[in-house]
Structure 1
Amino acid sequence: MNITKEQIDDLNAVVKVAISKEDYQDKVEKILKDYRKQANIPGFRKGQVPMGLIKKQYGKAVLVDEVNKLLQDNLNKYLTEEKLDVLGNPLPKQQENFDWDKDHLDFEFELGLAPSFDVQLKTKKAVTQYKIVADKKMIEEQVERIQKQYGKLVSKSEVGKKDEVTGIFANEAEDIDHKTTIEIDKVKSKKALDALTGKKVGEAVTLPTKGLFKEDYLLSSALGINRDKADKLDTNVTFTIEEINEREPAALDQDLFDKLFGKDKVTSEKELKDRIKEDSEKQFEQQSDQKLLNDITEKLIDETKFELPAEFLKKWIQISGEKPLSEDEAKEEFERSEKGLRYQLIEGKIIQENNLQVQFDELKEFAKGFIKSQMAQYGHLDPKDEELEGIAARVLGNQDEVRRLSEQLMSQKLLDLYKEKANLKVKEVSYDDFIKEAYS
């Protein structure tokens, strides 16, 4: 077997593979002999079928199969040994009236080659790194929410503007019959507020569904229907009051602090607000980091210029999927995926040049940290290391989870690299301003 490469240009090449009969003959003969031993052909005893008949019936299929195996194995080996960085897979060039009976078989494969380029992390224009701060207003609102959440319910005789009212929403035509509790201060409709205020247990009021609540998502849960139906609903519902309560805010005392953070971890209102600020800003950091990663990605794609073997990739896309695509479909798919492919190449270059690797020990620690944060959401704040080790071992026994966590860890490594070396300008903003500015 002989393999040679013809360079067409910087991004395209053709690999020629010459296979002689000696390369595959022994393997083909062995397989045909095995077929002969097992063949059941009428008129012949098992194992006594003439070899000529076996060759006539199976020879061509076995030959094609073995040659294709040789091609695949040796072509992959050649690409690895020659360190050819290819995009997609080699595409066989079509040959009219190919003669499989010749002693020498010649094949050609088109290659699309990865471009050569440089990546500059210090982009021409600085990328904004948002530092989101929890302002005084946000902290006060969070304190109020905590006091409300841990407060006690006091029964009332009639509905007031800050009460919680339990009752049944009903509309026979829309198949609505759902018991729920609503907070009056979340009702938006003035008509609804006027109808509810001053009502007593046992009384029923008619409320409009359109614009009933300040937040649209509340309607579906209040009526017990799916979100799509709720978004389109424009009718009236009957609300029959069963219970009226006022939530008396919890006192900002040691008992509340201990419920929130553990005994004596927080001992004053100032420490509570400091803790809320710290915890909120940690959560905000995840959002600002994701925004930074997205913005740097866009900037690197925009400023890192290189050509791709576009025509090759369109041909490869055309035949590589589950079903063949037309030329126009392949062109559209290439245009959709080009940006992602460019970043894959840029990211690969950055990872290689900065020697970023995911080691198993750090992957395990990363998994333990992820598990610990998940457990904290369910109130398990201080798990033992042995417990984390056991869960991490089970998680890392799943290859899909290993791949997912490895990708997340590599993203974190890239983010750390960008924070160290990229051209960044830090901007301090409130959370509301971040949402307006970053996602407007």
Structure 2
Amino acid sequence: MTEPESVTGDDNVLNVTFQETDAQGHVAEGSQPKENSLLVKYFSPAFRPQLLGKKAGDSFTIQLLNAFEEKERAWILQDLALNKESTADAEKYFSLVITKLGLLEKAPLDENFFKKVYPARTIGTEVEFREAVKQDMADQWKAQSSNNLQHTLYHELLDKTKIDFPESFLKRWLLNGGEKPKTPEEVENEFPAFTNALKWNLITDKIVTENHIEVTPEDIRDAARKQLFSYLGGLPAGDDQPWVEDYVNKMMQDRKFVEETYQNQRTNKMLQWVETQVKPVDKDITA
């Protein structure tokens, strides 16, 4: 970002101070200045020409209703701690003082840019770059779709599976069976979550056993690699690098990590298997 002397177009960034006024620009009693940063393109197309040539230190009065269109106006109203649904708030006037100007400059789509975005990949053309971005977006939507489906499946399995537990026995066990005795009130409060967790463990055990679902040491090692890459911003650094395997070997010696990862992998594999049993039905929807 550069700092131009004046506003030249839609990509200029304005650091401004809002302060409520009347239509003539007189400061409203009790109003306090509030700072914000806006792109020129956030203003309505009809208002933008009034900003051209403005410099740091310039001030002008706006009415929110006229200066911004509906979507952007809702953002501004929220930033000003006003009601985005209120017509009266939208009709308010504000003085804007430009405190600083910036300009967003688009980077050229060349190999240097591609390397900054995807340092672990070899991308030489804009077409390859766009395909990489498209694939990343598809992968993200696929992961989100799977997460949403698994969330639904979890509740379907938990809510529609009926298991009768020996309630009195379990409550007595919760009351006195732990390291620290609980009060009857604590037991009553914790009992629903306890029975849900117990039911989920039984459901998971049954599906895993009947369908021969296994978690291998390599699954846990792969999870450790993914954890490392997530620390690096999600960008694979290369599985064959010695320091990556050093990290994986270290994590495999961490009992807590191994046990937690095993349980997570076990649950994920179980839910992935359940996903394969779902028969999707196409339905028309309306916006």
- Aligned partner of 1:166: which letter? N
1:408 aligns with 2:257: no
State the partner residue of 1:157.
Answer: 6
Q: For the Cα contact (< 8 Å) 1:204–1:238, is it kept in 2?
A: yes
1:268 CA displacement: 3.9
Quick one: distance in 2 between partners of 1:271 and 1:428?
35
C-alpha distance in structure 1 between counterparts of 2:131 and 2:175, whole Å: 58
- 2:182 counterpart (302, 306, 324): 324
Task: Evaluate the alpha carbon distance shift between residue 175 and residue 361 of structure 1 in structure 2; reply closer, same or farther with a 3 A threshold.
Answer: farther
Instruction: Name the structure 2 match of 1:197.
Output: 51
Residue identity opposite 1:288 in structure 2: S
CA contact (8 A) 1:154 1:247 kept: no
- What is the letter of the counterpart of residue 210 of structure 2? E
Deviation at 1:271, TM superposition (A): 2.8
Contact 2:204 2:267 in 1 (8 A): no
Aligned to 2:25: none
Which structure's CA Rg is the greater one?
1
1:320–1:184: structure 2 CA closer, same or farther, 3 Å change rule?
A: farther
Q: CA deviation at 1:286?
A: 2.0
Structure 2: gaps (5+ residues): 21-29, 65-70, 84-88
TM-score if structure 2 supplies the norm length?
0.67
The structure whose RCO (Cα within 8 Å, separation 6+) is larger is: 1
User: Cα RMSD between the aligned structures?
Assistant: 4.6
Identical positions, percent: 20
Q: 1:204 to 1:399 in 2, by over 3 A?
A: farther
Say if 2:142 is the partner of 1:285. Answer: yes
CA-CA distance at 1:297 after TM superposition? 1.8
1:81-110 deviation per Cα after TM superposition (whole angstroms, max 9, x unaligned) = xxxxxxxxxxxxxxxxxxxxxxxxxxxxxx
SS of match in other structure, 2:104: strand
More strand by share: 1
Q: Residue in 2 aligned with 1:370?
A: 227
What is the number of residues matched between the two proteins?
263
Match of residue 254, structure 2, among 378, 398, 402: 398
Whole-Å Cα distance in 2 between the matches of residues 383 and 218 of structure 1?
Answer: 46
Question: Cα deviations across residues 374-433 of structure 1 (Å, max 9, x unaligned)?
Answer: 3243x674465311111223333433332332233223321332244x23327699xxx9
Q: Do the aligned residues in 1 keep the contact of 2:150 with 2:275 (CA within 8 Å)? A: no
Q: CA deviation at 1:161?
A: 4.2
Alpha-carbon distance between aligned partners in 2 of 1:218 and 1:390, rounded to the nearest angstrom = 49
**295, 309, 323: which one pairs with 2:166?**
309
Match of 2:274 among 418, 428, 437: 418
Cα distance in 2 for partners of 1:317, 1:293 equals 30
